[in-house]
Structures are given as structure tokens and as C-alpha cells.
Amino acid sequence: MAATVWTFSQAHPSTEPGHTVMLGRLEEHLTRAEAIAAREHEGRVSAKVARSRRAELRRVVHFQLLRYLVAIGEIAAKTQTDLEQLTLALFQAC
């Protein structure tokens, strides 16, 4: 809306002495507002990318890495029986 006012004021100049000063200040405020809006947009895009990346990492951990850890734990539990007791203790603590 302010950009429309600025465009209209540029197209229809006034003879008032303060008009040019007001127009300059309006232009400065518009420039600042556009910069703030651009930073906000970049922040939202970055947040969306971060959420997507976290979700992908969760999937990788759950479907790939966790499977290997379980397999290693099962192999280790066969040779070291004290690991099985540790697992039971962990489940009982929950």
C-alpha cells in the first residue's frame, strides 16, 4: 500500500515544500521494509529447509543406522551375556 502511495506521489507531484521531504522519507521506509521482508522470507525458507533436513536425518537413523546397531547388539549379546542384562535393566527403568 505504501508503495502505491509512493508511485502515485511520483506520478502526481505536489507544489508543497514538504512534499519532497515526505516522499524521500517514504522511500527510505519502503527500502527498509523491503529489506526486512526479504530477510523474513529467507528465514522462513531456511527454517523449512532445516525441518526437511531433520526429518530426513530421522528417517536415515531409524531405517538405516538403527538396523545396524540392533544387529551389532544382537551379535555382541551372544558373546557377552552381561549386555543382555543391561538391556533388560534399561527397559525396566522406563
Domain extent listing, the chain: 2-93
Share of the chain above pLDDT 70, in %: 87
**Tens digits of per-residue pLDDT, 10-26?**
788 888 888 888 888 98
* Mean pLDDT on 54-73: 85
Contact 58, 50 (CB under 8 A): no
Share the mean pLDDT of the chain.
83
Higher pLDDT, 34 or 87: 34
